[in-house]
Each structure stands twice: as C-alpha cells, then as structure tokens.
Copies of this chain bind each other. A is one copy, B any other.
Amino acid sequence: MTVAEQMLTTHPRAGAGADTAALVRCIEACVECAQACTACADACLSEEMVADLTACIRKNLDCADVCATTAAVLSRQTGSNTDVLRAQLEACRAACASCAAECETHAQMHEHCRVCAEACRRCEQACAELLGAL
C-alpha cells in the first residue's frame, strides 16, 4: 500500500467520498506528473536545441504547477469543496493534454519527452476517470 493510500484510508473521513481507488490513482498520477514535468522542463533547457523547445518548457512548467495544486486539493477531505475540485480537475486534464501533445512531438528525439508525455497521459486519464466518478 502506498503512502498516499495509507494517508487516505487512515483519514477520519475515510470512505466518505465516492471512489477511494480512483482518488488514490489520481493523487499519485498528479504527484508523479508534476515531478516529471519539472524534470522535463529542465532536461529541455539542457538540450543544445533549447531554442526549439521553448513552447515545450512553458507547457511543462504550467503542467507541473497545475498538477501539484490538483494533488493538494485532492488530498483534502475536510468539509466539501466539490465545485473547486471539479474545476481544478478540468484544468489538470487540460494541462496534461496540452503538455502531452507537445512532448509527443519530441518523443522520438528526446527520451525525457517520451517519459514525460506518458506520465501526462496517465494523469489526464486519471483526472477524467475521477471526474466521471464524482
């Protein structure tokens, strides 16, 4: 059991929300994607062809920020903030889709873009599934 799952199942309000498995998957996907995007922005920055990767770096940085915030909002169960949760999940889905599409165009040339695009697609999917379960 991962730490995120342990934290969720030991919460005083554990089980109060809809779908714990979808929630854990989404938190973990957001956390993983935020780190991958931070690292991919920096890897792009170290490429000789950095001038061709500036749009990718910008999308990486946006996606890293959005995913980190989404993971934090998802990690909270106190009270209820469903409208905000839903809107932030939509923003995260959009950020992951945008960053994945950009990284995929460089995936054959840069392995870090391939790994990052896959993390973005997993997170986009996890957000979509959680939105469907809310």
Residues on A lying within 8 angstroms of B by beta carbon are 3-4, 6-8, 10-13, 27, 31-32, 35-36, 38-43, 45-48, 50-51, 54-55, 57-59, 61-66, 68-69, 71-73, 75-81, 83-84, 87-88, 90-91, 93-95, 97-98, 110-112, 114-116, 119
B116 touches A98 (CB 8 A): no
Choose one: B4, B39, B48, B61; the contact of A35 (CB below 8 Å).
Answer: B4
Determine if B98 and A83 form an interchain contact, defined as CB atoms under 8 angstroms apart.
yes
List the B residue with the shortest CB-CB distance to A34.
B31
Q: For the complex, give the distance between the alpha carbons of A80 and B90 in Å.
A: 18
**Shortest Cβ distance from residue A12 to the other chain B in the assembled complex, whole angstroms:** 4
Instruction: State in angstroms the CA–CA spacing of A91 and B31 once bound together.
Output: 19
Please list 9 pairs of residues, one from A and one from B, whose beta carbons are closer than 8 Å in the complex, sorted by A's number. Answer: A10-B112, A13-B46, A39-B75, A42-B76, A45-B57, A45-B78, A59-B81, A65-B69, A66-B88
A83 vs B101: C-alpha distance when bound (angstroms): 13
